């Protein structure tokens, strides 16, 4: 798309290289250099975008100077071709760089689209409108595809079967008792008669079978039965059964089941995240209560309430959001009443309110984290988040720092949408930089 952007500016007469393809190639190379810089430091996407939108961008802006340096590196004599400072060339190569980077990082796309939706309607770019509409729609379509996946609620939730390897469990170990042969022999000899073959007394049966058969049988039966029974019972009492150790297999089973249940619950939670988010947003819209200010929006002025709504919505939704979320925010602001639409203020007044109003301190806190101090071109959040900075309150610096006329007016619906998109764009720039710094995972 990059070559088409430069061609589009040529066709519209916004840049003129005298039909020299070599010069056009130099512009393309400069744009590639800026794209490489943007890919290395994606947080530049916001300032790149804000300059690219503005036909009246000042020459001393840091982004303009960076673009001119990239141009001079590829085309040392470019000033001989252009009578004045070639701001249209700067804007064209910045836009080319942004589109190039956005194809690799959707967060750069979020930054660009959110900024474009805010700034372009207030910029004198009627002659370029066809170029911008085409570019914004293409990048926004790609960003929306990512957002739709994140917000989608599936009709069914598939959960994989639990994987568990059945352990190998050994058989029980049995230890048998033994009968003392010698002891049993002694006891049976005693049951058989009064003395043994060596004429040693057995202290057992008092009779011999040939002397008194009847009494001998009785004595023999009792004594031999007792001896054999005692021997058997003694052997049985020594039998030991050692059960296999099941602690490890059962521990593995518990871990497997616990992990499976956790995975199933996480899958369910992830699959229904979009539904949960929508439910939470509907409740927020009906309640009209600000969690950040801990009060009803109806207790605040329309513009203050609108600013807080933008912040509260921003902190509720993920970075990638469908375009319909901004519309949802606008409809929520309108629920404050018909007078809301009529409460227009200049952008300068809205920024001053955001800098000073007590209930907007949460907005200032998050703005300070997301936006740098106002030096060159940047978002309104830079002024809101750093109200004590010297440049933040000077009306004569307002247009230089924001690209916007301080007299431009916004109603609360537009103001809420503006802040929400700036918060999203600033977050996207920071997230893209964080992702770039994150060490690569091992393959």
**pLDDT tens, N- to C-terminus, the chain (443 residues):** 556 788 888 877 778 777 788 888 999 999 999 999 998 888 888 899 999 999 888 888 999 999 999 999 998 888 888 767 888 899 999 999 999 998 888 889 999 999 989 988 888 877 788 888 888 888 989 888 888 887 777 666 677 777 767 777 777 788 877 888 888 888 888 878 888 787 888 888 788 888 888 888 888 888 888 888 888 888 888 888 877 777 777 777 777 777 777 777 666 666 666 677 888 999 999 999 999 999 999 999 999 999 999 999 999 999 888 888 999 999 999 998 867 667 789 999 999 999 999 999 999 999 999 998 988 888 999 999 999 887 778 888 898 889 898 889 999 999 999 999 999 999 988 876 555 544 433 43
**Which pLDDT belongs to residue 154?**
66
Residue 137 contacts residue 144 (beta carbons within 8 Å): no
Nearest to 311 by CA among 146, 427, 408: 427
Helix (H, G, I), strand (E, B) or coil at 166: coil
Global model pTM greater than 0.85? no
Let me know whether 112 and 218 are in one domain: no
**Which pLDDT belongs to residue 267?**
64
Nearest to 347 by CA among 422, 423, 415: 415
Let me know whether 130 and 42 are in one domain: yes
The rounded distance, in Å, linking the Cα atoms of 304 and 308 is 6
**Which pLDDT belongs to residue 382?**
93
Residue 392 contacts residue 355 (beta carbons within 8 Å): yes
The rounded distance, in Å, linking the Cα atoms of 100 and 45 is 11
Contacts of 70 (CB under 8 A, 6+ apart): 30, 33, 34, 37, 93
The rounded distance, in Å, linking the Cα atoms of 151 and 135 is 24
Let me know whether 121 and 29 are in one domain: yes
Nearest to 91 by CA among 71, 109, 73, 76: 71
The rounded distance, in Å, linking the Cα atoms of 297 and 206 is 113
Let me know whether 326 and 236 are in one domain: no
**Which pLDDT belongs to residue 440?**
38
Neighbour-count burial for 102-131, b at 16+ CB within 10 Å, e otherwise: beebbbbbbbbbbbbbbbbebbebeebeeb
The rounded distance, in Å, linking the Cα atoms of 79 and 82 is 5
**Which pLDDT belongs to residue 173?**
81
- Please indicate, yes or no, if residue 83 is contained in any of the structural domains: yes
**Which pLDDT belongs to residue 269?**
65
Let me know whether 178 and 146 are in one domain: no
Tokens 């593995």, located at residue: 252
Let me know whether 288 and 418 are in one domain: yes
Let me know whether 128 and 193 are in one domain: no
- Please indicate, yes or no, if residue 68 is contained in any of the structural domains: yes
> Helices 361-370 and 347-356, interaxial angle, to 10°?
100
- Please indicate, yes or no, if residue 207 is contained in any of the structural domains: yes
Let me know whether 233 and 304 are in one domain: no
Let me know whether 147 and 177 are in one domain: no
- Please indicate, yes or no, if residue 397 is contained in any of the structural domains: yes
Which alpha helices (H) appear in 157-212, and where do they start and end? 181-192
Neighbour-count burial for 216-252, b at 16+ CB within 10 Å, e otherwise: beebbeebbeebeeebeeeeeeeeeeeeeeeeeeeee
Let me know whether 134 and 190 are in one domain: no
Question: Which structural domain range is residue 217 located in?
Answer: 173-242
**Which tokens hold the place of 384?**
């809101």
- Please indicate, yes or no, if residue 80 is contained in any of the structural domains: yes
> Of 120, 151, 182, at which residue does a domain stop?
151
Please provide the size of the chain in residues.
443
**Which pLDDT belongs to residue 433?**
56
Let me know whether 178 and 143 are in one domain: no
Domain count, the chain: 3
- Please indicate, yes or no, if residue 14 is contained in any of the structural domains: yes
**Which pLDDT belongs to residue 343?**
78
- Please indicate, yes or no, if residue 113 is contained in any of the structural domains: yes
> Of 118, 151, 184, at which residue does a domain stop?
151
Torsion over CA: 310, 312, 315, 316 (sign):
negative
Let me know whether 216 and 119 are in one domain: no
- Please indicate, yes or no, if residue 359 is contained in any of the structural domains: yes
Nearest to 370 by CA among 433, 322, 439: 433
């Amino acid at each position: 798309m990059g070559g088409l952007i430069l061609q589009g500016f040529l066709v519209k007469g916004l840049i003129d290289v005298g039909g020299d393809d070599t010069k056009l190639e130099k512009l393309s190379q400069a744009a590639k250099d800026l794209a490489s810089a943007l890919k290395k430091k994606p947080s530049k996407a916001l300032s790149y975008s804000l300059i690219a939108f503005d036909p009246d961008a000042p020459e001393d802006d840091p982004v303009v100077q960076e673009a001119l340096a990239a141009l001079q590196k590829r085309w040392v004599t470019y000033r001989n071709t252009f009578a004045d400072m070639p701001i249209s060339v700067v804007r064209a190569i910045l836009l080319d760089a942004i589109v190039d980077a956005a194809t690799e990082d959707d967060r750069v796309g979020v930054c660009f689209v959110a900024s474009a939706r805010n700034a372009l309607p207030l910029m004198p770019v009627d002659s370029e409108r066809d170029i911008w509409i085409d570019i914004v729609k293409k990048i926004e379509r790609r960003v929306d595809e990512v957002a739709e996946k994140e917000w989608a609620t599936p009709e069914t939730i598939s959960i994989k079967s639990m994987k568990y390897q059945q352990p190998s469990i050994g058989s029980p170990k049995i230890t048998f008792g033994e009968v003392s042969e010698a002891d049993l022999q002694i006891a049976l000899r005693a049951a058989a008669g009064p003395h043994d073959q060596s004429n040693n007394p057995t202290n057992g049966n008092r009779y011999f079978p040939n002397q008194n058969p009847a009494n001998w049988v009785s004595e023999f039966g009792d004594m031999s039965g007792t001896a054999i029974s005692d021997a058997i019972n003694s052997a049985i009492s020594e039998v030991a059964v050692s059960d296999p150790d099941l602690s490890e297999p059962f521990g593995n089973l518990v871990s497997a089941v616990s992990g499976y249940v956790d995975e199933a619950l996480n899958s369910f939670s992830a699959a229904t995240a979009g539904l949960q988010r929508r439910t939470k947003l509907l409740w927020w819209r009906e309640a009209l209560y600000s969690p950040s200010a801990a009060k009803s929006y109806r207790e605040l002025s329309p513009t203050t309430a609108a600013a807080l709504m933008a912040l509260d919505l921003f902190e509720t939704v993920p970075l990638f959001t469908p375009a319909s979320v901004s519309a949802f925010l606008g409809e929520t602001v309108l629920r404050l009443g018909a007078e809301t639409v009529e409460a227009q203020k200049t952008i300068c007044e809205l920024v001053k309110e955001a800098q000073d109003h007590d209930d907007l301190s949460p907005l200032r806190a998050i703005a300070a984290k997301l936006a740098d101090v106002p030096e060159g071109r940047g978002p309104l959040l830079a002024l809101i988040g750093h109200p004590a900075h010297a440049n933040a309150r000077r009306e004569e610096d307002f247009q230089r720092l924001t690209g916007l006329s301080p007299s431009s007016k916004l109603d609360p619906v537009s103001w809420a949408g503006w802040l929400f998109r700036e918060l999203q764009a600033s977050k996207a720039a920071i997230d893209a930089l964080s992702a770039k710094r994150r060490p690569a995972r091992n393959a």
